[in-house]
Structure 1
Amino acid sequence: MNNTDYDIVNAGTQTFQLTDLARGGFDNLVVDAGYAVTATTPNASPVYRIGRTYTSVQHRAFATSPVCGDSGGAVAGTGYLALPGFGNSAAIAGVSRFIGTYPITFVAPACLANPTATEQSANVNPSGAGNGSWIDFTFDANAVDNDGSIQSSSPVTYIKTGCTTAAPLTRTNAIRLRQTGQEISPFISVGVTGFVPPTAPAVITPPN
């Protein structure tokens, strides 16, 4: 996050900004979730939203030309919601500044269209098998942010549920690290191995 250019095609150095963390494997479990910022995590981002959902929802600053919200700002863009609505199961809901897969192409500065209601929505998944596997945390951890801030530590995130003496397990793709295009950045979702409760399914998948 502080020294790797994930985009070697387009000019400049683009470093990953962690704006959402989704954790899976909590099927059929009642959970509580929370976070902490402590003295041992300086410059840590707070968590802005926590939800029982797989979907990360983009949030951007007000788009005035020629900056177009690409450098952040204190006022939310038109149509961007602090609390998303319901009705989207995509990994990331929002409006992308980039097109294509690889090489990605930056869409230069005509301001982005305002998001639709669907692009500001996320399904809330009940605790049944499959659909209720995921809990999503929205924050903004980065080494170099386009808005000039530095929040170089993530918050400490917690998911609490009932347990037995059985040991936790590890599962592939149980954690999804997301970049949601908060400023000049493409949508990126990275799956990594993570610990899950012993009751988790063998394969951690997106919602049905």
Structure 2
Amino acid sequence: MKNKFLKIKIKPEHPFSPDGERGYTLAEMIVSVAIIAIIASIILANFSEFRKGGDVAMAAQLLSSDIRTAQGHALSIRKHKNDVDTASPVGSWGIYLANSFDEYYIYGDLNQDSNYNGGAELDKAIPLPKNIIINQIQLSATGIVLNANILFEPPRPDTILNTAGAGAEDSIQVELKDITSGETKRVVVNKFGLVDVQN
């Protein structure tokens, strides 16, 4: 015995078709394409805004990662490529930052003056992504400065935060800025060597 319920046939008919034929009208097609175009343009506009904010966030994460790299070099007592002392590594490892620069430097403090002196001390220059700059550097006691050092002194590593080798501060805030969108992110390092990325 066959099931009568399975024999139901659905014949889709278009309400405006004189012969009951299937199909879409030109007006329906135009409306559908317009809706898809509007949704696509909204998604693309939001994606480009999201990407702009993503560049400065990525740069902040890169800087915090490189700060931890310098900290790791000091912790492992890594020898600098230009260290001529063959017995043991000399000096600290650090990051040098300068206001309005679009790069920063990982360096070995070969002469142990707690300051970046360029030349032989440079280990690696790290360029920031396009349109990202170091907008502001602020030390906890000194305030806003033009340049700063984030140093890690082996073997513990002790954290030294200063400008031009002078004194030691409790914390440093480095503000990165996307010069096209104006969006900013801050990388904060305290005297215990903890690194944090903030809005």
- On whether the aligned pair clears a TM of 0.5, the verdict is no
| Higher RCO structure (Cα 8 Å, ≥6 apart) | 1
Q: Between Structure 1 and Structure 2, which shows a larger proportion of helix residues?
A: 2
Which has more radius of gyration?
2
TM-score, normalising length from structure 1? 0.27
